[in-house]
Amino acid sequence: MKILVTGGAGFIGSNIVDEYIFQGHKVVVVDNLSSGKVSNLNKKAKFYQVDIRDKLGLKKIFQKEKIEVINHHAAQIDVRKSVAEPEFDAEVNIIGTLNLLQLGIKHKIKKFIFASSGGTIYGECKNLPAPKEDDVYKPESPYGCAKLAIEYYLGYYNTIYGLNTAVLRYANVYGPRQDPFGEAGVVAIFANRMLNNEDLYIYGDGEQLRDFVFVKDVVNANVLCLKKDFKKIVVNIGTGEAISVNKLFYEMKKITGYTKKAIYKPARKGELFKSYLNNSLAKKILSWEPKKIFSNGLKDTIKYFKSQM
């Protein structure tokens, strides 16, 4: 198949591109390189440096390429920026996605796979068990609101146009190629600071709970979406395990040999305290489950960051 991967120069998207190509698919990458990197691009993919807000630029790509599947990972991912500039967040995440959907319908694509956000859609996870897909949605940021709005748009396009849609609600994804700067995941930030023997900050008491899922497991979910027949699916992609930031710190400290103590700072406003996901539906529908053991995933990630030094 010929697959368009938006955000294909980014952390998750580039890993997906590599696997799609390895599996024999033809891949077209669209990325404006605002956060993606040229070094992440697979040389066998056809690359267009285009912003998803650029309707004319996207139109030319669809006219030239015979796109069969859209895998949509391009996004404004900074939660804090979404709070400061909600209109910009909506412009990129909502309007950009609608541009793709409209072109997808016009060119009769077979599937639309969307990277959503389990953490921001469900909001604070007050009690176990972890949230399921049909639980109450409580987004607490414009970023989360935008992701949820896109899911509703996908439902509309599925109902009205018969577009086959897959929504993958990711937990906290970590692994090789994650950016340790800006709005980055805590694993990447810790790895970079520990390996450079820099001071490391934990906001709040460190008992915040997160569901860390390895990027290769996320890639596998995206591969399964190609192989499975479906009309509409919405599934959580996480481990279902809640790990504290303090535990993460000590696990990574052991692996890296970091000797400094963490510096604790006041908790950030709006940050979720508990976030983890129930993955039982993904197991049932996609036959997907996480395979990477957490400690091994950390070792692989740290090994990658060492190789970049």
- Chunked mean pLDDT (size 10), the chain, 309 residues: 97 98 98 95 98 98 97 90 92 98 98 93 75 86 94 98 98 94 83 96 93 97 96 96 95 97 88 86 96 96 94
**170 and 135: one domain?**
yes
Whether residue 162 is found in the same domain as residue 261:
no
- Two tokens at 202? 């934990």
**Do residue 199 and residue 149 come from a single domain?**
no
Residue 31's alpha-carbon distances to 13, 38, 158, 187, in angstroms, are 10, 10, 25, 24
Structure tokens at 74: 């391009």
Tell me the C-alpha distance between 84 and 94, whole Å: 17
Q: How far apart are CA 86 and CA 302, in angstroms?
A: 34
Asked if residue 86 and residue 156 are part of one domain, the reply reads yes
Same domain, 128 and 34: yes
CB 143, CB 77: distance < 8 Å: yes
Q: Are 29 and 70 in contact (CB under 8 A)?
A: no
Residue 17 CB partners (closer than 8 Å, separation 6+): 5, 8, 27, 29, 41, 42, 45
> 62 with 34, same domain?
yes
CB of 90 closer than 8 Å to CB of 132: no
pLDDT recorded at residue 270: 64
CATH classification of the domain holding 195:
3.90.25.10
| In-domain check, residue 193 | yes
**Amino acid at site 91:** E
Does a structural domain hold residue 228?
yes
Please report whether residue 225 resides in a domain: yes
Kindly state whether residues 150 and 12 are assigned to the same domain: yes
**pLDDT one-digit tens code per residue, 65-89:** 999 999 999 999 888 888 889 999 9
The CA distances from residue 6 to 17, 106, 288, in Å, are: 10, 18, 23
Please check whether residues 99 and 52 belong to one and the same domain.
yes
- Is position 180 within any domain? no
d(CA 184, CA 216) in angstroms, rounded, equals 18
Catalytic (active site) residue 122: no
Residue 160 resides in a domain: yes
Query: Does 30 share its domain with 147?
Result: yes
The residue segments making up the domain with residue 145 are: 2-174+212-239+277-291
E strand or H helix that includes residue 158:
helix 142-161
Q: What is the pLDDT of residue 274?
A: 84
Closest alpha carbon to 61 in 9, 6, 24, 114: 6
pLDDT tens, 217-264? 999 999 999 999 999 999 999 999 989 999 999 999 999 999 999 999
What are the residues whose beta carbons fall under 8 Å from the beta carbon of 22, sequence distance 6 or more? none
Residues in a beta bridge with 275: 210
Q: How far apart, in whole angstroms, are the C-alpha atoms of residue 30 and residue 62?
A: 11
Cα–Cα dist 90/77, whole Å: 11
| Statement to judge: residues 252 and 235 lie in one domain | no
- Which residue, among 178, 169, 119, has the nearest Cα to 298 in the 3D structure? 178
Whole-number pLDDT of residue 291: 96
CA dihedral 158, 123, 280, 21 (to 10 degrees): 60
Q: Say how many domains are in the chain.
A: 2
Q: Are strands 2-6 and 69-72 parallel, antiparallel or unpaired?
A: parallel
Catalytic residue (choose from 48, 143, 157, 170)? 143
Pairing verdict, β 164-170 and 232-237: parallel
Within 13 Å, how many C-alpha atoms sit on residue 21's CB side?
18
Question: In this structure, are 131 and 261 located in the same domain?
Answer: no
> CA 243 to CA 234: how far, in whole Å?
24
Q: Are 162 and 201 members of one domain?
A: no
pLDDT of residue 275: 85
Residue at 166 is within a domain: yes
CATH of the domain at 78: 3.40.50.720
Look up the pTM and report it. Answer: 0.95
Q: Which of 235, 208, 251, 246 is nearest to 290 (CA)?
A: 235
